[in-house]
Amino acid sequence: MNKPAKKKANKIIPNFEYARKLRGKKVKIFLRNGEVLDANVTGISNYEIIVKVGDRNLLIFKHAIDYIEY
């Protein structure tokens, strides 16, 4: 008898799960190029973080972030 195919579960990488908790919070983002941004987090996906700095919206790729203080 053939066994039914199992669905692959969408796995969320635990190391990035903390980033989803930052939505709506004021943070300080340290970029790999040395820049520091004081920003409000407005959105997060698997590879990007959208922040508001002043009156500008910025999309920052996660690989460009050194660390985040909150």
More confident residue, 10 or 65: 65
- Whether 32 is in a domain gets the answer yes
**CB 65: neighbour CB atoms within 10 A?**
15
- Whether 4 is in a domain gets the answer no
Please give the pLDDT value at position 11: 53
- Whether 14 is in a domain gets the answer no
Domain that holds residue 41: 28-69
Give 4-61 pLDDT, tens digit per residue: 665 555 554 555 677 778 899 999 999 999 999 999 999 998 899 999 999 999 999 9
- Whether 3 is in a domain gets the answer no
Please give the pLDDT value at position 7: 56
**CATH of residue 61:** 2.30.30.100
Q: Report how far apart, in Å, the C-alpha atoms of 28 and of each of 4, 33, 52, 62 are.
A: 48, 15, 12, 14
- Whether 63 is in a domain gets the answer yes
Number of domains within the chain: 1
Please give the pLDDT value at position 31: 97
The pTM (predicted TM-score) of the whole model is 0.73
- Whether 23 is in a domain gets the answer no
